[in-house]
Structure 1
Amino acid sequence: MPSRHRATITRMRTTRERRRSVPLRGGLMIAVALITSLAAGTTVSAGAAVPSSHGWATASEITALLEKERADLKLSGLAVVVLSGGSVLFEGAFGDAAPGGPTVTLNTPFVLGSTSKQLTGLAIQQLIAQGKLSLHDTVGTLLRHLGSESSPFADVTVAELLSHTSGISTGAGTADVFDPTPAFASLGTETRHLLMTAPSSMAGTSFEYSNGNYTLLGSIIEEITGQTFETALQILVGRPLGLDATTSDLTAAQANGLASGHYTWFGVIDSTTPGPRWPMGAPSAYTSSTAADLTRLLKAELGRPSGIDSAVFGADHAPLAAVDKYSRYASGWYMRSFWELHDDDENFDDPALPLIYEHDGDTTRETSYLAFSPDLGLGVIVLSNTGLGTDTARFSEFTYRLLHTIVGTTAAPHLVDPVIAAAPVIMIVLPLLQLAALILLTVSFVRRRLGRIARVILRVVAALVTVVTVFVAFVAVPERTNQSLFNRVWWAGVPDLAVSTASSLVFAAATIVFGAVALIQAQHRRRSLSVNDPADNASSNH
């Protein structure tokens, strides 16, 4: 069965195919019981209970799912809010924001990842509503000071940037944002660089998710307002919505208690692990916010009066491009049918299904998910300070099951990828096997008492293990990750896999070098013995 789109389209599309978006018809009321209690380490607040005439989730079912998923996914910290009828029915905070505390609260800031795009998109729609910008304005006219007139993207429109149909490639938009040592760290220099990259397609012809689109939008915001992106974000979005802790300023976020990024090494060890958070990535990935602030945002998205006119949200929700036959893209939101309202996602093309707007976020050290369904008054916020690791679908599977749990339906069975499931073991075992191969090869040459057959067996085993290591490193890993082995972004994103691969290759190289040297020396010794042994010389004369 299909899953929702992830923040990075290449990751999303390798898990499952999307379902089809259909027109909004009819309406339902969400029913989730009043939260009565949560386990230790959890804070709870609840509103008035809504009658559960559809047999949807109870408080204990939501709580049980969150506790189980947090343990299974080894999420260091977790904050979750559920809105029903536009009101808060569930809000819980679990775990620690940093090693040794403090504990996560609804006011703990998390780096959002790609759910930052909703805030950038909303800022753009505010400028359009103010008459300072239009969807048809082009990059060439808006960013002249950054060299846009000579750019292959000069004719790209604001609408095409918002909808990822500009032709800026996924790779170009990722290269610096997630690079541990980027060539361009500021928003202006990164924009100038992106403007000179080669398009992957003609503008307006196809959807290709790229952070680069929102990098350019961030520069457009700066150009139109004459302010820094951070100042403009606060004026256009933060202050009108009362988002007190939402910021693209990393220093300000840290002062507010920003949750430290975590990574689960080898699928076992959850550890604080630094990750990239560069200024040029703020419009697309590195804005931070809290569950409390995002609750205010989703209430406004669902129609609650706010400091932003409802017409702006209407424009924010309008589809701008088709992603595939199942979904469309608005200003930082994927739109699709809310098929989780059916058991096992059956009848996903039911025309009575309402729409759901959603987006995942992933910084490699933090994950997030935002969703809302206007017809239901449903909103969901999930924030965590733990990255995805090698199993890039695991967080999406969690939020998929969360939606099913909330509406009281059965989720489709999760199809386990045996390679992904075995990845933690493979990452540990492969370098150990290659080290063992090096030891066996060494023994085959230094232990003179070994018989010839034993030596051959040890050398064959060492050779086979080395061939497997080289195949895994240069073929299997790049094929599974869609990344070059020498891509720094890849190394930073999955450090455990990078360490495993690198150490395996070091041992493999040592095995090859030692084997080659030992064979040369052995051949040299045989020749020396042949020259110096009279009996051999006599035999050779005959």
Structure 2
Amino acid sequence: MSIRKITCLAGQRKSLGFALTVLLAILYSMMVARPVLAASSVTTPNFARIDAFITAGMQEKRIPGVQVAIIQNDHVVHLKGFGQANDEGMKVTPQTPFMIASSSKPITALAIMQLVEAGKVQLDAPVQRYLPWWRLSDPVQSSRVTIANLLDHTSGISGSLGGKDWLSDPSKRNWSLEDGVRSFHSSSFVHAVGTTFEYSNANYETLGLIVQTISGEEFGTYVKQHIFSPLHMNHSTLSLKEAQQEGLQQGYTWYFGFPRSTQNLYLPALGPAGMVISTAEDLSHLLVAQMNGGRYEGTSILSPQGIARMYAGNPHASFGPEGAALDLKGNYGLGWFNGSIAGVPAIYHLGTIVNYASLLVMEPQHHLGAVILMNVNEASLPTQEPIMYMQNNLTRLLAGSEPYTAPGLNVQSFYLYADSTLFVWAIYLLWSAGRLRRWSSMFGQRLQSALSRKRSLLLASLRVTWEVGLALLLLLGIPIVLGGISWLDLPGMFPDLGWALLLLSLLTLLIGIVRAVLLLRAARNNASASSSTVTLSLRRR
């Protein structure tokens, strides 16, 4: 019998339900919690080697700052910061606030599980039990979405909803959590509920609003009181103002291969899905609790059975392999991926935002865990190579495996090809623009020759078609390839290649249009001259 069926039965027959719940907890602790969390072999990581790898990787990949924490059993055994937090040379420490992006989701899932254990929320209950007004465009599908569907991303909601669509409108950047969730009402489902995994921020924004509604507290306040404070996560917050007071700096984004500090992107409505700001030290406390049945220094934030339930992946929420650089596969549980990273069995979550990246990882077979935070992101790089190079290999080093480089383009090769292509394209456009007047004159002369007229018209038409067609293909096609991101959003997300592609595409289109106008004018002038010549010839006769 499935977990959802047992939970439903518990709701209908309370006495039998209580007994089944106790039995379920015992079975989970025996069948899930023990194999996942018990150490088959305890390995002491080579901290010197890990530090040397991080230092070398930062230099090779041009990563400004990194902080790392390593957990073994129920202790933090290694804690260190590397590099700089800002352009003034401020040193990164394990207490430096970094944005952790989607690694916020396990914290939101933990908050929901606390309410489940308090009897205030049921995993198999429909979302509309707690938010009666909640819906997407299909009312029937909306009524079927459960809390569990939101937690394991099987709600059928699009992955583009709940963040990407807010970037182009400045007014939406200050939306409250409820504003954001209410905006989903006109969006369509992309899958039948409960059938397909599609990772979506909208799921966790809705969960955060449920926490806020049921608890009667702002989501950030609830998390602070019920998770951050008990775990002594003293530098963690969902408040941008508080984080700046704690020392949050602007993160970095690569511009043509070189890191440059950029304005942090903070959207209050995205909070439960990706706006937690924390440190390696604080997140190490979270992993201690996650690895030890919900306990940290004698304080319990969730039962061992609740922790085990979070790790149990849904077969319908399977993913991967996600490509050479990502090298991820497995299932999604309740706020955690359960599968492997770079061939190493792991329970983990990753997070990336415009200028920060994070990884929380637990290796149950060794009873080891790690936090790695970076103050840079490579939104322009489709392979996510630098970030995944660091995350994959830290995971492998923890397991005692050798680091490796995934096949495919690395950041240096990517930018070498990209920058070279853009440079040649820009030179060609400048050369073409500078020669337009001369081209027009020469084209007009060729039209006067009956022998070269047809050939000249054909070649000129093909050139115009190529320039206009290429520009339109890029201007219309790139947003489609990138999942519907508009050109208004693109330069903000890809500040180097985004602006370069936009400007060069527009310049190509402009040159093509000007060339078409010159072609038509020359053809018309030639036709007029030919007509005048014929008329004059007839008069002489």
TM-score calculated relative to the size of structure 1 = 0.79
Matches of 1:313 and 1:474 in 2, distance apart? 46
Which residue pairs with 2:150 in the alignment?
Answer: 161
Shift of 1:329: 1.4
Match of 1:229 in 2: 219
Q: Is the 8 A contact 1:135 1:157 kept in 2?
A: yes
Coordinate RMSD, CA, aligned: 3.2
Aligned residue type for 1:79: Q
- Report the CA distance between 1:28 and its aligned residue: 1.9
User: Percent identical across equivalent pairs?
Assistant: 24
Q: Could you tell me how far 1:503 is from its partner in structure 2?
A: 0.8
Match of 2:40 in 1: 27
Q: Does 1:481 align with 2:485?
A: no
Query: Residues 120 and 284 of structure 1 are in contact (CA less than 8 Å); yes or no, is this contact kept in structure 2?
Result: yes
| TM-aligned CA distance change 1:432 to 1:273, over 3 Å | farther
AA paired with 2:396? H
Trace 1:407-446 onto structure 2 (pairs within 5 A): 407-411=399-403, 413-417=405-409, 420=414, 422-446=417-441
After TM superposition, give the deviation of residue 298 of structure 1 in Å: 1.0
Counterpart for residue 351 of structure 1: none
Matched, 1:210 2:200: yes
Q: Secondary structure at the match of 1:270?
A: strand
Structure 1: distance between partners of 2:276 and 2:497: 27
Change (3 A) 1:182 1:205: farther
Give the counterpart of 1:333 among 336, 350, 371.
336
Verify: 1:104 aligned to 2:107, yes or no: no
Q: Map residues 103-122 of structure 1 onto 2, 5 A cutoff.
A: 103-122=91-110
Contact 1:79 1:291 in 2 (8 A): yes
SS of residue in 2 equivalent to 1:241: coil
Work out the CA distance in 2 between the residues paired with 1:480 and 1:531: 50
Stretches of 4+ moved more than 6 A in 1?
447-463, 539-542
**2:289 corresponding residue in structure 1:** 300
Supply the distance in 1 between the matched residues of 2:487 and 2:515 (Cα, whole angstroms): 29
Give the match for residue 501 of structure 2: 501
- Are 1:262 and 1:271, in contact at CA under 8 Å, matched by a contact in 2? yes
Runs (5+) with no aligned partner, structure 1 = 1-22, 36-58, 342-354
| 1: CA distance, partners of 2:439 / 2:311 | 68
Query: How far apart are residue 157 of structure 1 and its match?
Result: 1.1
**How far is 1:532 from its partner?**
5.1
Deviations 1:145-182 (A, max 9, x none): 55789574233111111100111111223434555636
Q: Does 1:135 align with 2:123?
A: yes
Alignment check: 8 A CA contact 2:311 2:336 kept: yes
Match of 2:7 in 1: none
- Flag structure 2 segments of 5+ consecutive residues without an equivalent: 1-34, 320-328
Letter in 1 for 2:279: T
In structure 2, distance between residues paired with 1:113 and 1:178: 16
Map 1:271-282 to 2 at 5 A: 271-282=260-271
Would you say the 8 A contact 2:341–2:395 is kept in 1? Answer: no
Distance in 2 between residues matched to 1:255 and 1:151, nearest whole Å: 46
Q: Would you say 1:538 and 2:537 are equivalent positions?
A: yes
**What residue number does 1:401 align with?**
393
CA distance in 1, matches of 2:460, 2:57: 45
Please state whether the residue corresponding to 1:172 is helix, strand or coil: coil
CA distance in 2, matches of 1:310, 1:408: 31
Mapped partners of 2:198, 2:149: distance in 1 = 11
State the distance in 2 between where 1:466 and 1:198 align. 34
1:357 Cα deviation from its structure 2 partner:
0.7
1:269 corresponding residue in structure 2: 258
Seen in structure 2, the aligned counterparts of structure 1 residues 339 and 437 have a Cα distance that, compared at 3 Å, is closer
Structure 1 counterpart of 2:359, one-letter code: Y
Residues of 2 paired with 1:335 and 1:495: CA distance? 33
Instruction: Give the match for residue 81 of structure 1.
Output: 69
* Residues 82 and 89, structure 1, Cα contact 8 Å, conserved in 2: yes
- Alignment match, 2:4: none
Q: How much has 1:112 moved relative to structure 2?
A: 0.9
Which amino acid in the other structure matches residue 407 of structure 1? A
> Which residue of 2 is the match for residue 521 of structure 1?
521
Distance 2:57 2:538 in 1: 77
Which structure carries more helix by proportion? 2
Q: Which amino acid aligns with 1:529?
A: A
Residues 48-82 of structure 1 show CA distances to partners (whole Å, capped at 9, x for unaligned) of: xxxxxxxxxxx1x3223212221233222211222
For residues 255-289 of structure 1, what are the alpha-carbon distances to aligned partners after superposition, in whole Å with 9 as ceiling and x for unaligned?
A: 111131221012x2311222531110010011110
CA offsets 1:118-147 (integer angstroms, 9 cap, x no match): 111111111111122121222111012557
Number of aligned residues: 478
Q: In 2, distance between residues paired with 1:256 and 1:62?
A: 28
Q: Aligned AA for 2:289?
A: A
Which is further off, 364-373 or 386-395?
386-395
Q: How does 1:243-254 map to 2 (within 5 A)?
A: 243-254=233-244
Q: Residue 95 of structure 2: SS of its match in structure 1?
A: coil
Report the TM-score when normalising by structure 2.
Answer: 0.79
Alpha-carbon distance change, 531 to 263 in structure 1, aligned in 2, over 3 angstroms: same
User: Which residue pairs with 2:231 in the alignment?
Assistant: 241
Amino acid at match of 1:31: T
Residue by residue over 1:334-364, the C-alpha shift from the partner in whole angstroms, topping out at 9 and shown as x without a partner, is 00157745xxxxxxxxxxxxx4111110112
* CA–CA separation in structure 1 for the residues paired with 2:365 and 2:526: 84
> SS at 1:357's partner residue?
strand
2:112 match: secondary structure: helix
Query: Structure with the greater relative contact order (CA < 8 A, sep ≥ 6): 1 or 2?
Result: 1
The whole-number CA distance in structure 1 between the counterparts of 2:392 and 2:74 is 21
Query: Which of these residues, 153, 159, 180, is aligned with residue 170 of structure 1?
Result: 159
